[in-house]
Amino acid sequence: MSLFTTNCSNDIEYKEDTNLVSDTIFNFDNLKIYNFKPFSFKQLKTYSYQEKLELRQVPTSFLKQMTPKALFAQFVRMDMAKDVLLFNSPQAGIEHVKNNFNVVQELLNREDSHMFFIESLRNINLNQIQDNEHRFYFYCLTMFAAQKKNISKLNKKETIVMIEIIDDLMTTQSKLSNTKPDFWGNTFDYSSYMLMYANIMIINEFSDFTSLLESNENLSNFVLTGILNMPEMKIISEQIASFYKQLKNK
């Protein structure tokens, strides 16, 4: 549960407090997002972290009118969004923003959010991502998509499509790591790819994989933390290939 709620005192008229966002790489086309006032120097110096969080909750009436794409854009462009990177593990950072930003809660709770993630990941062109800001957007996109709440919404056909999309992204990133090793040559994104695969197999109760989770402490630790090591990546890659083949043949 979030530490904060947007009550009536925060539910203000917002007609003049919006911002239109466009971004060709992520296909943000004039999205209407809530325009938070920048923190003043005094607020930055004297406000507690909890007080700053309270000022980054989107008013309820505005929140409910936002599309999944707008909700995602709202978060990644927020001045506190990169707090997701301040934790000891990828999943701990995601849990923090899930618990403390109502825009993230709304995004993951939407019944149709899984379609936003499928379409966004299908249409993203990794060759166009050439700066750290858009790399951060992509990290958030894949980590949010990998959450069990999102995976649980996928039907059989959508699960197959998601596995194929992630496989294509990994193939593209592998090629880019050879041509742009300084930018694409680490496992930063592979953690979210493997976490998505793992959660797909968990949600679908793939017994071969769930049995391994019970016997392999390092593998179960990865699912909890998102901290990826090569042995776990090899196991998950082999297991998802077997699960994919089984799912296609059903």
Question: For 122-162, how does the pLDDT look when each residue is reduced to its tens digit (9 = 90+)?
Answer: 999 999 999 999 999 999 999 999 999 999 999 999 999 99
pLDDT of 198 reads 98
By C-alpha distance, which of 76, 70, 88 is closest to 34? Answer: 70
Q: Which residues contact 54 (CB under 8 A, 6 or more apart)?
A: 4
pLDDT tens profile 20-65: 788 999 988 889 999 999 999 999 999 999 999 999 999 999 999 9
Does residue 113 contact residue 106 with C-beta atoms inside 8 Å? no
pLDDT at 184 over 80: yes
Residues forming a β-bridge with 111: none
User: In this predicted structure, what is the pLDDT of residue 6?
Assistant: 37
Question: Greater confidence, 196 or 18?
Answer: 196
Q: Where are the alpha helices (DSSP H) in the chain?
A: 41-46, 49-54, 60-63, 68-76, 90-100, 102-109, 113-123, 132-145, 148-151, 156-179, 181-184, 190-203, 207-215, 217-225, 230-249
Reported as a pLDDT band with limits 50, 70 and 90, residue 19 is: confident
> Both tokens of residue 238?
């082999």
pLDDT digits (tens, 9 = 90+) for 69-108: 999 999 999 999 999 999 999 999 999 999 999 999 999 9
| Residue 13 pLDDT greater than 60, yes or no | no
Higher local confidence (pLDDT), 187 or 27: 27
- Secondary structure class of 229 (helix, strand, coil): coil
Full-prediction pTM beyond 0.85? yes
Q: How confident is the model at residue 8 (pLDDT cuts 50, 70, 90)?
A: very low
Q: Between 127 and 18, where is the model more confident?
A: 127
